[in-house]
Structure 1
Amino acid sequence: MTFDKEQDMQRKLKVKPIAESYNSYVIEEKEKRDWSGNIYLGFVAAILAIAFFT
């Protein structure tokens, strides 16, 4: 991850209080997955499989 580029990503946060504690919270962050690396890897694997079996 590079810090010189500004990202326009909305962060979805859930703040939940911890049961039976004073002033303690759990923060859950949901983020969209970046599928570009997996898609690229899948195409490379498919091309290598086709080349191997032909």
Structure 2
Amino acid sequence: MILDSEQETKRKLKIEPIAGSYNSYSVDEKDKRDWSGNIYLGCVAAILAIAFFS
């Protein structure tokens, strides 16, 4: 697939040297947490609690 334009994504990377090695690094990507599932679960729990106590 050929793209007409490149999209630049800004990612937060955590780069740490690996202990006991020469010129080797560990690269971890910091992801944003997706709260939509937790908010949905909280709303369902609130509705069930209201239905149970009323």
User: What TM-score does the superposition give when structure 1 sets the normalisation length?
Assistant: 0.71
Structure 2 CA distance, aligned partners of 1:15 and 1:33? 20
Q: 4+ runs of 1 displaced by more than 3 Å?
A: none
Question: What 5-or-longer segments of structure 1 have no aligned partner?
Answer: 1-7
User: What TM-score does the superposition give when structure 2 sets the normalisation length?
Assistant: 0.71
Query: How many residues were matched structurally?
Result: 47
What amino acid sits opposite 1:52 in the alignment?
Answer: F
Query: Rg: which structure is higher?
Result: 2
Question: What 5-or-longer segments of structure 2 have no aligned partner?
Answer: 1-7
Identity of aligned residues (%): 74
SS in 2 for 1:19: coil
